[in-house]
Amino acid sequence: MNRKYRKTVIAGNWKMNKTPSETKEFMTAFKAIMPKGRWCDIALCVPAVCIPAAVRAMRETRVGIGAENCNANPSGAYTGEIAANMLTDAGCKYVIIGHSERRAMGETDADINAKVHAALEAGLIPIVCCGETLEQREAGITSEWIAMQIKLALQGVSEEQIRKVIIAYEPIWAIGTGRTATPEQAQQVCEEIRTVVRKLYSSKHARATSILYGGSMNEKNAFELLAQPDIDGGLIGGASLVPEKFVKIIEAANQPTM
Ligand code: PEP
């Protein structure tokens, strides 16, 4: 982390977990133990039907609510889909885009790029995900793969807009597996992502971009991961479902930075 230049962000991704009633219960428990300090931004990205309950519960707090996906089109005949401006109107601040679980359902890099534009136009902060498979890591192509995903996701994103984008590095082999990247592995890729942003934009933009790590981050390994200079926070699945665990990760972000 480096709080001097960029925001630290601790974001939860609930995936397809919790009902609206369970959301209300979580938020009540979370609010009661939420750290008071302002050392990081806090986001909770929840299933679409849970957004109203989450927004209502967190209205007077500094926690931003987010969605887990959006459609790239502003409106129209897309049964079952949700447009970015609908999320803004519902009170969302963030949207996760290009999560590997959605890519596995057929989402392409072009879809992801279109969604990034839709999110930015709707005033949302996109949390853009990238990550390699175990086979790609073992084949030694992680750096090239991640650079390609980032370049394609950010195509046509202006210098002004990149300031609003958060990037999340999530090695697929570490998501939901309990197998975390080592702090060194995660740092190396996050540093490489910053280099890609620098080449696409400028040193100033690269320095200001928050790059998160995700993949089995939990209350035990968060401190060490967040101590890395280019890891500016976490995108947390499983551990964000339990208020006590999520709070411990937020507390782990309260550490001295360079
Ligand atoms: C995720 O869903 O983005 C994620 C990182 O999940 P987990 O923390 O459970 O590995």
Choose which residue among 9, 10, 14, 15 to substitute to test ligand 1 binding: the one with the highest number of ligand atoms within 8 A of its C-beta.
Answer: 15
Domain that holds residue 223: 8-253
- Whether the CB of 13 sits within 6 Å of ligand 1: yes
| Centroid of ligand 1 to alpha carbon of 176 (angstroms) | 5
| Centroid of ligand 1 to alpha carbon of 172 (angstroms) | 9
Q: Residues 20-50: pLDDT tens digits?
A: 999 999 999 999 999 988 899 999 999 999 9
Give a yes or no: residue 258 inside a domain.
no
Give a yes or no: residue 3 inside a domain.
no
Give a yes or no: residue 227 inside a domain.
yes
- The stretches of 34-171 forming alpha helices (DSSP H) are 51-57, 84-89, 100-103, 109-121, 134-138, 142-153, 159-162
Handedness of CA 218, 222, 228, 234 (dihedral sign): positive
- Whether the CB of 238 sits within 6 Å of ligand 1: yes
The domain spanning residue 214 has which CATH number?
3.20.20.70
Question: pLDDT confidence of 6, banded at 50, 70, 90?
Answer: very high
For residue 214, which atom of ligand 1 is closest to its CA? 5
Q: Is residue 166 helix, strand or coil?
A: strand
Residue 86: CA count within 13 A, CB half-sphere: 17
Q: In the annotation, is 170 catalytic? A: yes
Give a yes or no: residue 173 inside a domain.
yes
When divided into structural domains, the chain yields a total of 1
**Six-digit token pair at 223?**
């401190």
Give a yes or no: residue 2 inside a domain.
no
**At a CB cut-off of 8 Å and minimum separation 6, what does 256 contact?**
none
Whether this prediction's pTM lies above 0.95 is answered by: yes
β-pairing, 9-13 vs 233-236, is parallel
Reference 245, options 236, 257, 235, 254; nearest CA is: 236
Q: Residues 165-224: pLDDT tens digits?
A: 999 999 999 998 989 999 999 999 999 999 999 999 999 999 999 999 999 999 999 999
Q: Residues 229-248: pLDDT tens digits?
A: 999 999 999 999 999 999 99
- Whether the CB of 11 sits within 6 Å of ligand 1: no
